[in-house]
Structures are given as C-alpha cells and as structure tokens.
Structure 1
C-alpha cells in the first residue's frame, strides 16, 4: 500500500470513528434531558462515569497493544461493531431507567476505546517523518470537523424521522466508514519496513509534554463549552447552532495553516507558541463573544490539536503512550463535571433540531 493511499484510508476512517464521538458529545445529553425527561444531574453523572470508563479503557487497550500489536485489527473490528450497536442504546434505553442507561453507556465507552486506540497508534506507524506526521494530523483535523458537521446535518435534516432513526443513522454511518481502518491495520505491520530500527522502537512520552498538553486541552475545551452559556447580548445574538458552526469552521481552517515540524523540539516550541496565542484569544472573551472571536477560538482549538497530534508520532509514541495521553486528557476535565449537568438545558435550547423533538 502506498503512503498516499494509507493517508486517505486513515483520514476516511477518522471520519467514521469521529461520527460516534461527535454524536455522543453533541446529542446524548440533550436527548436524555429534553426528550426523555432524565434529570440533568443524572444525565451528567452518566456522561462523566462513561468518560472515566473510556479513559481507563484507553490506557488498558493501549497497554495491551504495546505487548501484542498484531491484535489491533481484530480488536478494532469487534469494538467498532459493539460501539455502533451500543451507541443508540445510550439514549433509547432511557425508559428502562438509569441502570440500563449506565450499562449501555459503559459498553459504548469501553468498546469505543477498542476502536480509538488502534486508530491512534497508527499515527506512529504511518507518520515516520515529521512531514507525514503533520499531514496525518491535518487529515484528523478535517475528519473531526466533517464528522461534527455530518452529525449536525443529520440532526437538522432528520427532524421528521425520530430519535431512534437519527441515532441508528449515525451508528450505521460510523461503522460503515470506520471499517476502512481494519484493512489498514492489517496491511501496515506494527514495525513498518519504511521505518528504521531506531524509529520503530516506541518511547515513553515526556511527562512535561503530557501535563502541559492536558492543561491546555482542558482550558480551551472548557472555554468552548462556556461560550454556549453566555447571555445572548454577550455573543451578539448568535444562537447555539451559529456558535457551534463558527467553532467548527475555525477549527477546520487550522488545517490550512502552513505548519511544518523539523523535529520534536521544534514541534514543542510551536505548540507552546500556539497555546500562548490561544491565551490572548481567551482574554478577549472578557469583553465580547462576537463571531470573529468565536472563529478564532475554533482556530486555536484546531491549531493546538493539530500540532499536538503531529508531535506524538515524532516523539515515537507507542500504543501505551497514546493510551496515557488520551486517558489524561479525558480524566482531567472531571472536576468541571458538577457544573455541566445543570447547563444542559440552556445549551440545548440553542439547537434547531432540539426544538423539534
């Protein structure tokens, strides 16, 4: 398989994988609270428990793949089907009570790790040069944005099909598109012949990089969620759909930036500079949350994400390193949890789709 074909396949698979994550992140809390009448605190706790289970499963799967890398293909295939089946259940089992929802949520989040970790670890196997690492990260950035737009499009365009059909459409689309990663996992050996012996040996991630990245990810992510809760006058009348669209477009635009990495040290400097620039964007929200500033926040989110994921293969991260990185980034936001459930209702009211169900 040529590298260009591998890149296209990897980017396509990322769209499929991200459909499930975007669907869960954008729709699940709203549907549980506003459609099925679940208490916001209960819905929020289910979300946080599922996120914690997903984080721990990330590390467990990454640790397993570090010792048995050839299990990546079978694990991803089974986990993709399981996550696709269980995703609709995380909402549709609401009439059967919180225990049923918790079981479905845990199954979905744990199964998703079986898809996510093999896919992430492919970065190091395919990104054997800094240029290729950046190119793969660009594909991830565009793929994530496409998945978010597809979920929003299905939601707004499927107003008459009902909740169940909407969720199953997302699940089937995700499994169908995401399945392209399985042949890639099989075709690209754990230690590619295009990679030198030294490059093929994974290295532990530097702790300062992990800590600094997690702090930045949590801070920008919290700000992106907070802007949905600002008074209308603060963001000049933009509704929730417009705000999310501006964030997504800004994030997508980051893929067009002429970012190049010479080596890991250069990448770390670029990441530090991008977070410094993001800090100035964040300060601007003390005065306004206008459209331009929202797009800049999306650009900051996309740029830091693009550089961060490009650095990982340059640092020669192995499956265990990716598991640690994603586990830390998912567990860190948990202290923000108590304020999240009560914010479900006002944030959800912004969506055109939400008002029709």
Structure 2
C-alpha cells in the first residue's frame, strides 16, 4: 500500500464530485439490495442443502467452499473479460441491473424448491445455486468498480463508509428474517421462503434500476467546466492494489469466523439468553456503525494508518473476548461490540484505500481489480466454510467445558489482525528504504 495516501478533498476534482452527489444515495441503496442477496445466500444455502440433501456438516462445508471458489473465479473472469466495458459508471450500472434481474430470479427459484415437491430437488437447487453465483458476479463487480468511478478522494472514502453501513443493515435485515424462518412451523416455512426471496428480489431489482436511471441521467448532463480531464489508462495494476488484495484475503479470516460461531457459543457455552443476545446484537450493531466511526476518528490520516489501527483493534477485541472467562462476563459484551466496530472500520479502510488506488493508478483495470479483490475475500470464506464444517462434525463442541468454540472463534481474528498490521509495517519500511536508495542515487 502506498505510504502517505491521505484522505483529503481535491479541489481539482470538484466538478466530478458534484456530478456524483446525485448518484451517491442510489448507489448506497443499490448496495443494500446487493447485500440482501449476498447475506441471504450465505445464511440459507447451508440450511437448504441440509434440508434437501441431508448432507453432513463437513459435506455442507465443502459444498459451500466450492461455491465460494466458483464465485471468486467468476469474479475474476467477469472482471477481466469486461474490464474495458467497466470504464464508466453508466456501463457498470447497466451490467449491474442485468445481473440483479437474473440473480434475484435464481434465488426465488432456489427458495421455491421446498414448496414445489419436485422429484429431483437437489438437482434443481444445485442448478439454481450455480446460476445465482454466475449472475451475482455481474452485480458485484460492476457495483464495486463504480467506487473508483464516482467522486473525489474524500467523497470516495465517505461512499465506502456508507456502503458498508448498507451492508450491515442488509445483514441485520436478513438475520431478522432468518430468525422468523427458523422459529416458523414446518408447514409455513416453504411459503415464508418464497415470500422472503421475492421481497429481496424486488428490492434488489428496483434499487439497481433506480441507480441505472440516475447514473445515465448524470452521464447525459452537460459537462461542467471544472470537470477533470480523462485519466490515462494504466499499463498494469499497481503494486499497492496487489497488496490490498492480500490484506483482504487475510482480513476475511477475522470477523466472519467470529460472527458465525458466536451464536453457537452463546447457546452451548454461555447458556445465558440475555448475555448471548446482547453480545450478538452489539457485534452486529458495531458492524453497522463501525465504518462511520472510524471514518470520523481517523479522517485525514493515511490509508495504511486506517487499516493498521482497525486491524489491531480487531485482534485486541478478540483477545478480550477470549479472556472473558477470567475477566468476567462483564467484559464479554463490550468485547463483542468492539470487535464489530473494529471489523467494520477494517472493511471500510481496505475498500476505500482500494478505490483510491484504482482511481489514481489503475484506470482501465477497474473490473479485473475488483474481481481479484472479491475473489480474495471469497477464498477466505471458502476456507472458513471448510473450517466450520470440520468444527461442527465433532459433537464435542457442544459440551460446556469444551474450549473448541472459544479457540476457533478468537484465534483467527487475533492472528489475522496482527498479520495485517505487520504486513503494513513491512511494506512501509520497504517503501522508505526504496525512497532512501533513490535519493542516494540521485545524490
């Protein structure tokens, strides 16, 4: 990551910022719709595979890992093949709407399988999942690429913060809906699945269509005199982009693992409904407000400072949670809230830094760049899914005296948080040595 990249207002880009102001809210709302698709798929695919195919936890983990890797590979292929078409926000908005329609319909088809009583439900479900993963790449990559095509540096950071808030709200919406599904009767559940997926489909398609209209309206508006000149297409992805892709891979071993295991830990280890629900709620709430809090606290600081401080905060929060047996249950809930807050800030920091790097030094590579970034995140999620399957395949994790749950949910975020900070320090030191050597050569 380039040292010293600061989040600051750029007067030279003021015209571009004003042009994107009208698109900012539709962009965030469309990201909420996209997040509903993603969170619903992540939450319920495992449930449907278990119900339809009666697969073991380990088998479900391997199947989900395969779909994550398939999705990551599709991200790279779509981003690489269409990178020239994703050089404008208008083109990205068109692609996103097309992908939203197909992926939303695929989700409705998948969630309708339990109610249709088909002769080959597993085959239909598998085909629906593959169609969904394929179409979702056309939603995800164009929407992410727009982050580097809208506004100036400071506006882009604010937009990255707002879209992660939208992601958090999407996760909360899906979590509430999943809870209603879990506690519903067997007779009502198939109908609720269809209703749930239909609402998500309508929100996703409508928000994507609105974004497309606003982007096209902005593209048709007369150019302002203060608008910046077209950027030169980069010859290759900058080294800072590759470093951020690696950080995304490492960082996604942190909060996702913790968040997935926390409900099991609350049920089998805490055995205190109030304490468990408070920890889960604060973790989710922290993820929603975290991006905005870190944006306000560290505004004006360099991108590497944002990432390093939030990653260390994730490690500290996980360690505090792990020590709650000795520190007392009073430390458990604040530690969960701090981890959610820090994870939200870490995600915002990486996304906004990546958007800045691609906007300044990766023009013409937006599609492939964001395809690689999301593929890195999904590779980590694939490994997480295998780990979860392995953990759940051994019934001993349910025993109150077993340390398996606590260790598995705290060690990955501690290691990942420290590793991200160490990588940044190493890269910063390497950049300083390179700069010193260049100065000596010039001297």
Distance 1:344 1:170, change over 3 A: farther
Aligned length: 342
Larger mean CA deviation between 321-330 and 234-243 belongs to 234-243
* 1:122 counterpart residue number: 146
1:319 aligns to 2:352 (yes or no): no
Consecutive unaligned residues of structure 2, counting only runs of 5 or more, are: 1-17, 398-443
Which one has the largest radius of gyration?
2
Q: Secondary structure at the match of 2:82?
A: helix
* 2:352 counterpart residue number: 310
* 1:110 counterpart residue number: 134
Distance 1:127 1:222, change over 3 A: farther
Distance 1:3 1:185, change over 3 A: closer
TM-superposed deviation, 1:230: 2.4
Matches of 1:245 and 1:65 in 2, distance apart?
40
* 1:53 counterpart residue number: 70
* 2:305 counterpart residue number: 269
* TM-score of the two chains, using structure 2 as the length reference: 0.68
Distance 1:39 1:101, change over 3 A: farther
Q: Secondary structure at the match of 1:126?
A: coil
TM-superposed deviation, 1:110: 1.1
Distance 1:17 1:114, change over 3 A: same
Consecutive unaligned residues of structure 1, counting only runs of 5 or more, are: 348-357
Matches of 1:187 and 1:64 in 2, distance apart?
27
Q: Secondary structure at the match of 2:340?
A: helix
1:135 aligns to 2:158 (yes or no): yes
Distance 1:334 1:27, change over 3 A: closer
**Alignment partner for residue 334 of structure 1, among 382, 397, 400?**
382
Larger mean CA deviation between 27-36 and 7-16 belongs to 27-36
Matches of 2:67 and 2:214 in 1, distance apart?
28
Distance 1:244 1:55, change over 3 A: farther
Superposition pairs of residues 1-357 of structure 1, within 5 angstroms: 2-33=19-50, 37-69=54-86, 71-93=91-113, 96-129=120-153, 131-156=154-179, 159=184, 161-187=191-217, 194-198=227-231, 204-205=237-238, 206=240, 207-230=242-265, 232=267, 234-235=269-270, 237-238=272-273, 242-257=278-293, 258-260=296-298, 262=300, 266-288=302-324, 290-316=332-358, 317=362, 318-341=366-389
Contact 2:58 2:392 in 1 (8 A): no
Matches of 1:153 and 1:333 in 2, distance apart?
22
